[in-house]
Amino acid sequence: MKMTAWSVSGIGEIIPGDQLGDIIVDACRAEPNGPLLNGDVLVVTQKIVSKAEGRLVAIDPDDPVSHKQLVEDEAVRIVRRRGDLIITETKHGFICANSGIDLSNVERGFAALLPIDSDRSARRIRDIINAKLGVEVGIIVSDTFGRPWRNGLTDVAIGVAGIAGVVDLRGTPDALGRMMHVTEVCVADELASTGELVMGKSSGIPVAIIRGVDPTWLRDSAMSEIVRPAQEDLFR
């Protein structure tokens, strides 16, 4: 099995009201690696989704209190707090730093909030690509989250369309023919991470294409596959 990932060039600064699907279609048409194919997965960073959807709020960049207030407004619960670091649970059920609000790669004086419904954002992009290019692709809206116990951030999925969130390999015999215990793999997060590796953080390239994904993973899905219900969670 072979998989290829590359970043899509030619996507300029995104502003509120931009139709992201159209912009991605145009960029993909100009791709030196050729046209999109059925089964390709596109990873699209949250930042441009939030910008296109107008999820920008004015802040005073020199006033940490207003930033903190915004973080709390976007949270349904404060999970941990230490110094300036606030880990919150968002309305979507994501647990992340600062309610996912980010100031980098956003015009000074503004903060980008998470999309209201990233699955819907992903579906909209998928539908436009399908209508204009006639291909069935998967879309992952990605964001960069920290995690407990390990240093460094990794990119994870915060919205999915047409690509599985979690693939259930429970009951699939292992290579020795024995039934496996529990192996539910979050392929959407792994694909988001793969996308991050080719986009880079400071280069500002907001879309990656991944080709060669297991075709059985291309199916209807939603973030509810990935977000663990609080009552099943041991760490909040």
Distances (CA, A) of 39 to 18, 94, 210: 25, 27, 9
Residue 129 or 188 with smaller CB distance to a copy of itself: 188
Residue 48 CA to residue 208 CA, distance in Å, equals 13
The answer to whether 66 and 79 are in contact (CB under 8 A) is no
* 150-189 binders of a copy of itself (CB under 8 A): 150-156, 165-167, 169, 172-176, 178, 180-181, 183-187, 189
| Smallest gap from residue 73 Cβ to a copy of itself (A) | 19
Phi, psi of 4 (to 5 degrees): -125, 140
53 counts as binding a copy of itself under rule CB under 8 A = no
226 counts as binding a copy of itself under rule CB under 8 A = yes
Site stretch for a copy of itself (CB under 8 A), options 22-30, 70-78, 126-134, 143-151:
143-151
- 100 by Cβ neighbours in 10 Å (0-12 / 13-18 / 19+) ranks as buried
Residue 53 or 102 with smaller CB distance to a copy of itself: 102
Residue 169 CA to residue 146 CA, distance in Å, equals 26
Residue 8 or 25 with smaller CB distance to a copy of itself: 8
Residue 11 or 124 with smaller CB distance to a copy of itself: 11
Q: In the set 132, 149, 222, 231, which binds a copy of itself (CB under 8 A)?
A: 149
Q: In the set 17, 34, 62, 148, which binds a copy of itself (CB under 8 A)?
A: 148
Residue 169 CA to residue 167 CA, distance in Å, equals 6
